[in-house]
Amino acid sequence: MEFKTLANIDVEELLEVFNLSFSDYVVPFHLTKEMLTSKIAAEKLDLTISVGAFEDGKLVSFILQSEKLENGQKIIYNGGTGVVPGNRGQGLVRKMYDFIIPVLKERQANVLLLEVIEGNSGAIRAYENLGFTVVRKLLCFKGNINSGIGNSHITIKDMHTFQWDNLRSFWDIEPSWQGSVYVLNPMPDTYKTLGAYSDEKLVGYIVYNPDTRRVLQIAVHKNYRKQGIGSGLFTAIADGQPIAINNVDDTSKEAGAFLDKKIGLKNWLSQFEMKRSI
């Protein structure tokens, strides 16, 4: 077995192994080449710090990773780990980390970060054995948006400029990697952002991907809550199709109740965010 970065990997080969690895996952899913390419770009995954296990020159396992600097720490995010069924039980995830961690140390990386589905007890134990600990629980919602909700006294229009210091002041919880400022700045062309305005003052906003029907961020100014602004933003993106919002920190009971009771989405899946120091 040979371990090396994915710097020179062919996307078609990665796609084949990705889909085979997740074909029998807790939540099975299948990507097209375009979807995988979009995921790599959207999550700013860096194949030069991603790692693969190769058997007889063929990729059989991988860890896709990205890197950001935040609050003086260099964080390495695991955007997906996969092992094809025929090569499981060989400790390949540990061996891939054993290979890549010295590389990350040379880059002065400080923290490893990942997400794992709550019901995937085998993966959770494996990551705990690698030194990861759970830092928070993240809730995933999906469904159809309730109709006829919102605030008729606000104006909703496209946003094209992002003063992140101001937008951060709307937050109660920190977004997960996919919705982080690092990923959204600059805003990907495939994403759309709507702002809610009261007398020309921005009082709420929503960032979503119309292609995947997924909300990346939604927030309302603390002084303008419970006035139908968040509901109005969801109504503005409703077109009769189901929508999803992933990785809502479960410590925000207000956000969970809003998405469930007010918007009509259901918490269909939960994940743990896990970290370890390098």
Check if the beta carbon of residue 40 is closer than 8 Å to that of residue 33.
Answer: no
Question: What is the chain's pLDDT, residue by residue, as a tens digit (278 residues)?
Answer: 999 999 999 999 999 999 999 998 878 789 999 999 999 998 999 999 999 999 999 999 999 999 999 889 999 999 999 999 999 999 999 999 999 999 999 999 999 999 999 999 989 999 999 999 999 999 999 999 997 777 778 999 999 999 999 999 999 999 999 999 999 999 988 899 999 999 999 999 999 999 899 999 999 999 999 999 999 999 999 988 999 999 999 999 999 999 999 999 999 999 999 999 99
Phi, psi of 134 (to 5 degrees): -75, 130
Check if the beta carbon of residue 192 is closer than 8 Å to that of residue 180.
Answer: no
Q: Where in the chain is the domain with CATH 3.40.630.30?
A: 2-109, 141-270
In this structure, what is the dihedral angle of CA atoms 17, 22, 28, 34, given to the nearest 10 degrees?
A: -40
Check if the beta carbon of residue 260 is closer than 8 Å to that of residue 231.
Answer: no
What DSSP letter does each residue of 146-186 carry, written as one string?
PSS-S-TTSEEEE-----HHHHHTT-SS---GGGSHHHHSS
| Distance in angstroms (rounded) separating the CA atoms of residues 103 and 94 | 15
Burial pattern 116-151, b for ≥16 Cβ within 10 A else e, equals: bbbebeebbebbeebebeeebebbbbbbebbeebbb
- At 147 the pLDDT is 78
| Distance in angstroms (rounded) separating the CA atoms of residues 62 and 43 | 16
Displacement of CA 92 from its chain's centroid (Å): 24
Task: Determine the topology of domain 141-270 in CATH.
Answer: Aminopeptidase (3.40.630)
The CATH architecture assigned to 2-109 reads 3-Layer(aba) Sandwich (3.40)
| Distance in angstroms (rounded) separating the CA atoms of residues 241 and 27 | 21
- At 150 the pLDDT is 73
First to last CA, the chain: 24
| Distance in angstroms (rounded) separating the CA atoms of residues 178 and 30 | 19
- At 27 the pLDDT is 80
| Residue found under tokens 């937050």 | 171
The pair of three-digit structure tokens given for residue 7, joined into one six-digit string? 């710097």
The alpha-helical segments, DSSP class H, found in 201-252 are 229-237
| Distance in angstroms (rounded) separating the CA atoms of residues 245 and 168 | 18
The pair of three-digit structure tokens given for residue 226, joined into one six-digit string? 């419970």
Q: CA nearest 206: which of 137, 270, 247, 156?
A: 156
